[in-house]
Amino acid sequence: MGRALKFNIFRYNPQDPESVPHMETFTLEETERMTLFIALTRIREEQDPSLQFDFCCRAGICGSCAMVINGRPGLACKTLTKDLPDEITLLPLPVFKLIGDLSVDTGTWFRAMNEKVGSWIHTSKTFDPSQEEERMDNALAEEIYELERCVECGCCVASCGTANMRDEFMGAVAMNRIARFMLDPRDERDTDDFFEIIGTDEGIFGCMGLLACEDVCPKNLPLQDQLGILRRKMGWNALKNIFKSKKA
Ligand code: SF4
Ligand code: F3S
Ligand code: FES
Protein backbone atom coordinates (compact mmCIF):
# COMPACT_ATOMS: atom_id res chain seq x y z
CA MET A 1 0.00 0.00 0.00
CA GLY A 2 1.31 3.44 -0.93
CA ARG A 3 0.75 6.55 1.18
CA ALA A 4 -2.69 8.14 1.12
CA LEU A 5 -2.01 11.55 -0.42
CA LYS A 6 -4.31 14.47 0.23
CA PHE A 7 -4.42 17.08 -2.56
CA ASN A 8 -5.81 20.54 -1.83
CA ILE A 9 -6.41 22.04 -5.26
CA PHE A 10 -7.47 25.57 -6.19
CA ARG A 11 -10.70 25.54 -8.20
CA TYR A 12 -12.16 28.45 -10.12
CA ASN A 13 -13.54 28.86 -13.61
CA PRO A 14 -13.50 32.56 -14.60
CA GLN A 15 -15.70 31.71 -17.62
CA ASP A 16 -18.51 30.52 -15.36
CA PRO A 17 -20.41 33.34 -13.58
CA GLU A 18 -21.55 30.82 -10.94
CA SER A 19 -18.00 29.78 -10.08
CA VAL A 20 -16.29 31.13 -6.95
CA PRO A 21 -12.63 30.57 -6.05
CA HIS A 22 -12.26 27.77 -3.49
CA MET A 23 -10.05 24.85 -2.52
CA GLU A 24 -11.13 21.28 -3.18
CA THR A 25 -9.65 18.17 -1.60
CA PHE A 26 -8.95 14.88 -3.37
CA THR A 27 -7.27 11.76 -2.01
CA LEU A 28 -5.19 9.30 -3.96
CA GLU A 29 -3.01 6.33 -3.18
CA GLU A 30 0.62 7.03 -4.04
CA THR A 31 2.25 4.72 -6.58
CA GLU A 32 5.93 4.20 -7.31
CA ARG A 33 7.60 7.05 -9.26
CA MET A 34 4.37 9.06 -9.13
CA THR A 35 4.74 12.62 -10.41
CA LEU A 36 2.25 15.42 -9.93
CA PHE A 37 1.40 14.99 -13.62
CA ILE A 38 0.41 11.36 -12.98
CA ALA A 39 -1.50 12.29 -9.84
CA LEU A 40 -3.46 15.11 -11.51
CA THR A 41 -4.24 12.95 -14.54
CA ARG A 42 -5.57 10.22 -12.27
CA ILE A 43 -7.68 12.72 -10.32
CA ARG A 44 -9.11 14.02 -13.59
CA GLU A 45 -9.75 10.55 -15.00
CA GLU A 46 -11.09 8.95 -11.84
CA GLN A 47 -12.62 11.73 -9.75
CA ASP A 48 -13.30 14.99 -11.59
CA PRO A 49 -13.12 15.35 -15.39
CA SER A 50 -13.60 19.13 -15.09
CA LEU A 51 -10.20 19.71 -13.41
CA GLN A 52 -8.08 22.08 -15.55
CA PHE A 53 -4.28 21.94 -15.72
CA ASP A 54 -1.69 22.16 -18.50
CA PHE A 55 0.77 19.55 -19.72
CA CYS A 56 2.44 18.90 -23.01
CA CYS A 57 5.88 17.25 -22.95
CA ARG A 58 5.89 15.63 -19.49
CA ALA A 59 9.68 15.96 -19.61
CA GLY A 60 10.50 19.45 -18.29
CA ILE A 61 10.87 20.84 -21.81
CA CYS A 62 7.67 22.71 -22.76
CA GLY A 63 7.32 24.69 -19.50
CA SER A 64 3.52 24.44 -19.54
CA CYS A 65 2.95 22.54 -16.28
CA ALA A 66 4.31 25.12 -13.83
CA MET A 67 2.17 25.65 -10.72
CA VAL A 68 2.64 26.57 -7.06
CA ILE A 69 3.43 23.34 -5.23
CA ASN A 70 3.20 23.65 -1.45
CA GLY A 71 4.01 27.34 -1.73
CA ARG A 72 6.82 27.10 -4.27
CA PRO A 73 6.57 27.45 -8.06
CA GLY A 74 7.77 24.34 -9.89
CA LEU A 75 7.13 21.99 -12.79
CA ALA A 76 4.47 19.42 -11.96
CA CYS A 77 5.77 16.86 -14.45
CA LYS A 78 9.21 16.90 -12.82
CA THR A 79 7.97 16.79 -9.24
CA LEU A 80 7.84 13.37 -7.62
CA THR A 81 5.22 12.95 -4.91
CA LYS A 82 7.77 11.00 -2.83
CA ASP A 83 9.61 14.30 -2.33
CA LEU A 84 6.48 15.93 -0.89
CA PRO A 85 4.59 15.44 2.40
CA ASP A 86 1.26 13.53 2.56
CA GLU A 87 -0.65 16.78 2.12
CA ILE A 88 -0.04 18.67 -1.12
CA THR A 89 -1.49 22.09 -1.93
CA LEU A 90 -1.58 23.16 -5.57
CA LEU A 91 -2.30 26.70 -6.74
CA PRO A 92 -2.06 28.34 -10.18
CA LEU A 93 0.95 30.58 -10.83
CA PRO A 94 0.26 34.19 -9.81
CA VAL A 95 1.07 37.12 -12.16
CA PHE A 96 -0.33 35.31 -15.24
CA LYS A 97 -3.94 35.37 -16.38
CA LEU A 98 -5.95 32.50 -14.94
CA ILE A 99 -7.62 30.24 -17.49
CA GLY A 100 -9.15 27.92 -14.89
CA ASP A 101 -8.10 25.91 -11.80
CA LEU A 102 -4.34 25.31 -12.24
CA SER A 103 -4.16 26.48 -15.85
CA VAL A 104 -2.71 29.93 -16.62
CA ASP A 105 -1.92 31.84 -19.80
CA THR A 106 1.85 32.34 -19.73
CA GLY A 107 1.99 32.79 -23.53
CA THR A 108 0.59 36.33 -23.62
CA TRP A 109 3.01 37.51 -20.90
CA PHE A 110 6.04 35.91 -22.56
CA ARG A 111 5.12 37.21 -26.01
CA ALA A 112 4.91 40.78 -24.64
CA MET A 113 8.24 40.37 -22.80
CA ASN A 114 9.97 38.94 -25.88
CA GLU A 115 8.67 41.83 -27.99
CA LYS A 116 9.88 44.37 -25.42
CA VAL A 117 13.42 42.98 -25.36
CA GLY A 118 13.52 42.29 -29.12
CA SER A 119 14.19 38.64 -28.44
CA TRP A 120 15.64 37.71 -31.80
CA ILE A 121 18.93 38.27 -33.63
CA HIS A 122 18.91 41.79 -35.07
CA THR A 123 20.99 41.70 -38.22
CA SER A 124 21.08 43.50 -41.55
CA LYS A 125 22.41 40.34 -43.26
CA THR A 126 19.95 38.31 -45.28
CA PHE A 127 19.78 34.62 -44.62
CA ASP A 128 20.78 32.39 -47.53
CA PRO A 129 19.79 28.76 -46.83
CA SER A 130 22.18 27.53 -49.57
CA GLN A 131 25.17 28.94 -47.65
CA GLU A 132 26.76 27.36 -44.62
CA GLU A 133 26.11 29.28 -41.41
CA GLU A 134 29.15 31.24 -40.16
CA ARG A 135 31.06 29.25 -37.57
CA MET A 136 31.08 30.41 -33.96
CA ASP A 137 33.72 29.71 -31.35
CA ASN A 138 32.64 26.59 -29.40
CA ALA A 139 33.13 28.14 -25.97
CA LEU A 140 30.99 31.12 -26.95
CA ALA A 141 28.30 28.89 -28.47
CA GLU A 142 28.16 26.95 -25.20
CA GLU A 143 27.90 30.16 -23.19
CA ILE A 144 24.96 31.27 -25.35
CA TYR A 145 23.37 27.83 -25.18
CA GLU A 146 23.52 27.93 -21.37
CA LEU A 147 21.27 31.02 -21.41
CA GLU A 148 19.04 29.59 -24.17
CA ARG A 149 17.80 26.76 -21.96
CA CYS A 150 14.87 28.79 -20.60
CA VAL A 151 11.59 26.93 -21.19
CA GLU A 152 9.42 29.99 -20.42
CA CYS A 153 7.66 28.18 -17.59
CA GLY A 154 7.09 31.40 -15.63
CA CYS A 155 8.30 30.06 -12.25
CA CYS A 156 10.84 32.88 -11.86
CA VAL A 157 8.18 35.51 -12.63
CA ALA A 158 5.63 33.97 -10.27
CA SER A 159 8.15 33.83 -7.42
CA CYS A 160 9.29 37.44 -7.83
CA GLY A 161 7.82 39.97 -5.40
CA THR A 162 8.38 42.83 -7.84
CA ALA A 163 6.60 41.02 -10.70
CA ASN A 164 3.71 40.28 -8.35
CA MET A 165 3.38 43.96 -7.41
CA ARG A 166 4.15 45.60 -10.76
CA ASP A 167 2.57 44.41 -14.01
CA GLU A 168 5.13 46.13 -16.20
CA PHE A 169 8.22 44.53 -14.58
CA MET A 170 9.96 42.32 -17.15
CA GLY A 171 11.50 39.92 -14.68
CA ALA A 172 14.83 38.12 -14.48
CA VAL A 173 13.85 36.08 -17.52
CA ALA A 174 14.01 39.25 -19.66
CA MET A 175 17.48 40.15 -18.34
CA ASN A 176 18.54 36.62 -19.22
CA ARG A 177 17.27 37.15 -22.79
CA ILE A 178 19.18 40.43 -23.07
CA ALA A 179 22.36 38.81 -21.73
CA ARG A 180 21.99 36.04 -24.30
CA PHE A 181 21.71 38.46 -27.27
CA MET A 182 24.51 40.67 -25.96
CA LEU A 183 26.81 37.66 -26.19
CA ASP A 184 25.77 36.79 -29.74
CA PRO A 185 28.19 38.23 -32.34
CA ARG A 186 25.48 37.97 -35.02
CA ASP A 187 23.32 40.54 -33.23
CA GLU A 188 24.21 44.03 -34.49
CA ARG A 189 22.65 45.94 -31.59
CA ASP A 190 25.25 47.79 -29.51
CA THR A 191 25.55 48.04 -25.73
CA ASP A 192 23.60 51.31 -25.60
CA ASP A 193 20.71 49.70 -27.53
CA PHE A 194 20.50 46.86 -25.02
CA PHE A 195 20.76 49.13 -22.00
CA GLU A 196 18.06 51.40 -23.37
CA ILE A 197 15.71 48.42 -23.19
CA ILE A 198 16.55 47.27 -19.67
CA GLY A 199 17.93 50.41 -18.02
CA THR A 200 14.51 51.31 -16.65
CA ASP A 201 12.22 50.51 -13.73
CA GLU A 202 10.57 47.89 -15.92
CA GLY A 203 13.97 46.27 -16.26
CA ILE A 204 17.09 46.03 -14.15
CA PHE A 205 16.26 49.00 -11.85
CA GLY A 206 12.96 47.38 -10.88
CA CYS A 207 14.75 44.32 -9.53
CA MET A 208 15.00 44.48 -5.74
CA GLY A 209 17.43 41.56 -5.53
CA LEU A 210 14.91 39.26 -3.89
CA LEU A 211 16.69 36.20 -5.37
CA ALA A 212 13.66 33.90 -5.56
CA CYS A 213 13.89 33.78 -9.37
CA GLU A 214 17.10 31.75 -9.37
CA ASP A 215 16.00 29.60 -6.41
CA VAL A 216 12.96 28.27 -8.26
CA CYS A 217 14.22 28.07 -11.86
CA PRO A 218 13.75 24.41 -12.82
CA LYS A 219 16.47 24.71 -15.47
CA ASN A 220 18.98 26.12 -12.94
CA LEU A 221 19.68 29.14 -15.09
CA PRO A 222 22.28 31.51 -13.58
CA LEU A 223 19.78 34.38 -13.28
CA GLN A 224 21.56 36.10 -10.39
CA ASP A 225 24.86 36.08 -12.27
CA GLN A 226 23.18 37.68 -15.27
CA LEU A 227 21.51 40.37 -13.16
CA GLY A 228 24.87 41.15 -11.48
CA ILE A 229 26.82 41.14 -14.76
CA LEU A 230 24.30 43.43 -16.46
CA ARG A 231 24.33 45.88 -13.54
CA ARG A 232 28.13 46.05 -13.62
CA LYS A 233 28.21 46.43 -17.40
CA MET A 234 25.63 49.21 -17.19
CA GLY A 235 27.81 51.04 -14.65
CA TRP A 236 30.88 50.80 -16.89
CA ASN A 237 28.90 51.84 -19.93
CA ALA A 238 27.50 54.91 -18.14
CA LEU A 239 31.05 55.92 -17.12
CA LYS A 240 32.30 55.40 -20.68
CA ASN A 241 29.54 57.65 -22.02
CA ILE A 242 30.35 60.36 -19.44
CA PHE A 243 34.04 60.34 -20.48
CA LYS A 244 33.04 60.41 -24.14
CA SER A 245 30.78 63.44 -23.67
CA LYS A 246 33.51 65.27 -21.68
CA LYS A 247 36.04 64.70 -24.47
CA ALA A 248 33.67 65.94 -27.18
FE1 SF4 B 1 11.35 29.13 -16.18
FE2 SF4 B 1 13.93 29.49 -15.51
FE3 SF4 B 1 13.00 30.39 -17.84
FE4 SF4 B 1 12.28 31.58 -15.59
S5 SF4 B 1 14.34 31.52 -16.45
S6 SF4 B 1 10.93 31.07 -17.27
S7 SF4 B 1 12.14 29.84 -14.20
S8 SF4 B 1 13.14 28.26 -17.19
FE1 F3S C 1 12.67 39.42 -8.65
FE2 F3S C 1 14.80 37.94 -8.98
FE3 F3S C 1 15.05 40.55 -8.86
S4 F3S C 1 13.11 37.51 -7.63
S5 F3S C 1 13.38 41.20 -7.56
S6 F3S C 1 14.01 39.42 -10.44
S7 F3S C 1 16.41 39.05 -7.99
FE1 FES D 1 6.27 20.11 -20.30
FE2 FES D 1 6.03 19.80 -17.66
S3 FES D 1 4.68 19.12 -19.20
S4 FES D 1 7.51 20.95 -18.73
Asked if the domains 4-103 and 118-247 are classified in one and the same CATH topology, the answer is: no
219 lines ligand 3 (CB under 6 A): no
CA-nearest residue for atom 7, ligand 1, is 217
The pairing of strands 4-11 and 87-91 is: parallel
Q: What is the pLDDT of residues 212-242, one digit of tens each?
A: 999 999 999 999 998 988 888 887 777 777 7
Of the candidates 201, 192, 203, 180, the residue with the CA atom closest to the CA atom of residue 234 = 192
Query: pTM of the full predicted structure?
Result: 0.93
Domain ranges of the chain: 4-103, 118-247
| Strand, coil or helix: 7 | strand
Which class is domain 118-247?
mainly alpha
Q: What is the pLDDT of residues 70-90, one digit of tens each?
A: 999 999 999 999 999 999 999
Query: In CATH, what number does 4-103 get?
Result: 3.10.20.30
Note the ligand closest to the C-alpha atom of 216: 1
Mean pLDDT, rounded, of the chain: 94
Q: How far is the CA of 82 from the centre of ligand 3 (A)?
A: 19
Ligand 3 pocket test target in 77, 80, 155 with most atoms within 8 Å of CB: 77
* Average pLDDT value for residue range 61-74: 98
Which ligand has the shortest distance to the CA of 38? Answer: 3
End-to-end CA distance of the chain: 79
Mean pLDDT of 127-133: 86
